[in-house]
Amino acid sequence: MTMHVKDRLERLSDEAPRELGAPADLWRRGRRRQARQWLAGVGALVVVAVVGGVVADPVLAPGRVEVATPSAELRLPDVFRQPGAWEPAFDGPPGPLAAVGPGVRGGLLTERNAWWGVSGTTGESRFLDLPDAVVGSEADPALSEDGRQLAYWYTGATADEPIVQGDAEPAVGVAVLDLVTGDVQRWDTGTPHGLMTAGLVWAGEVLWWVGGDFSTGGTDEERDGQSSARLVVHTWEPRSDDRGTPEGVGVSMYASGSAPGGALVPGRAGSLRLLVGDEVARRISFDQDLLFQQSTTPALSPSGLLAGVLHEDPSVYDDAPHPVLVGEVDADTGAVLLAPVGDVLAWSVLGWRGPTEVLVDATATSDGTQRVIAQVVDVRSGDVLGPLAEFHGNVPDSFASGVWSADVVDAPDAPFAPDHRLVGLALAGAVLLLVRAGLAVRRRRDRS
């Protein structure tokens, strides 16, 4: 019977066609099919990865941050931590902030610079969603002394071709965000080309800002990439919206030091100006050069002690720590005789913690990593009383100066916030493995 079947099958197979198409055509079809399958596979994985990355955002978002009540007191976080690129922003008004610094936020396709803040009540570090904020080294924001108001440069459309500093967007005005209510007030300058930004300084409730319209005089070749502006000093009290343009005040406010109810800004011939409200309250002169560094040096105590770090050679900028100097401001003349505090070295003075205790920054090694710390120094004895806070990542550009004398709060650990692109890729990989496992199961089932 078997042979009988074989004979009949052979006889039937004689009816089969004899030839196929050209082998070259089959080869081309095979190659095209392979390319299509490859593209489809890669496309599917990309789609899964992108969807995974997008879905990861809400899924992995940490819980809400407890927003401080308006009456909440400022606290000094024991850690000032730069958030990771994939950590979220505050999802509403964050309440008083202790500090604000620059960071980088992750994106599915590109990264972008962004400001982040450290809560002055919980110590939580998160990004800040500041509407239209300019993010760049020439456009540092400024926190008020109580950490409840944040001033920043904002960008927008200019009437003519914009001129920018660095690679940031052109600044067109100054905004103040009430960190408790979330209200934003703007001082729109109507600048035609953008503003040259030269400092934001809080003196109590009054914001001093320095900026000026970029000039377009001359041709591009004549300017040779250089831009100029006539800088003007402005004062602004956002809560009453009082605005002023004081005359005869220097325009150098690129850095400021802290003072109770005011601020210290550089003056002529190595002197300081103490700004209180919308006035220059006094001039302070001293016998040695002090280093000015963003918003951390020098600092005036409520009792009239001035602390700063010595700048041995003002013509040289180095990265080394300098001796800490302290002196009492003469109530009549404003003169200060500075003297070193023991052999303490620091990059800058952060602020006053108590009548005779000053906070300076230094480096220390913790968890195998060298970090900047804030340590307390007794200016009478020159003793270092110990570290009070650590800085993880970038040291913030602006502090609420009132935070240095506040009680310490334990900052929470960083939330779990992995790179969303990696999450997407992991999902794509998992899908791939599941598909392969499914195929393997199907093959095994076929065999049985």
Partner 1 sequence: MTAPDSFEAFVVARQAALLRTAYLLTGHAQDAEDLVQTALVKVVPHWRKIADDPEPYVRRVLVRENISRWRRRRWREVTSDALPEVLAEASDHDELLWVRAALAGLAPRQRAVVVLRYYEDRTEAETADLLGISVGTVKSHARDALARLRSGLARESVERT
Using CB under 8 A as the criterion, which residues of the chain lie in contact with partner 1 when the complex forms?
1-2, 4-6, 8-21, 23-24, 26-31, 33-34, 443, 446-448
- CB of 38 vs partner 1, minimal distance in Å: 9
- CB of 11 vs partner 1, minimal distance in Å: 7
Residue 19 vs 224, nearer CB to partner 1: 19
- CB of 435 vs partner 1, minimal distance in Å: 16
Instruction: For residues 33 and 19, give the distance between their C-alpha atoms in angstroms, rounded to a whole number.
Output: 22
How many angstroms from the chain centroid is the CA of residue 76?
Answer: 19
Instruction: For residues 6 and 12, give the distance between their C-alpha atoms in angstroms, rounded to a whole number.
Output: 10
Beta partners for residue 210, in sequence order: 233
Residue 27 vs 416, nearer CB to partner 1: 27
Residue 17 vs 248, nearer CB to partner 1: 17
- CB of 47 vs partner 1, minimal distance in Å: 23
- CB of 25 vs partner 1, minimal distance in Å: 9
Q: Which two tokens stand for residue 448?
A: 């049985």
Give backbone dihedrals phi and psi of 354, rounded to 5 degrees, phi first: -150, -175
Residue 4 vs 190, nearer CB to partner 1: 4
Residue 112 vs 442, nearer CB to partner 1: 442
- CB of 35 vs partner 1, minimal distance in Å: 10
Residue 109 vs 447, nearer CB to partner 1: 447
Residue 29 vs 230, nearer CB to partner 1: 29
- CB of 48 vs partner 1, minimal distance in Å: 23
Relative to beta strand 384-392, strand 79-81 is parallel
- Region for residue 287 given its phi and psi (left: phi exceeds 0; alpha: psi -120 to 50; beta: otherwise): alpha
Residue 430 vs 440, nearer CB to partner 1: 440
- CB of 436 vs partner 1, minimal distance in Å: 16
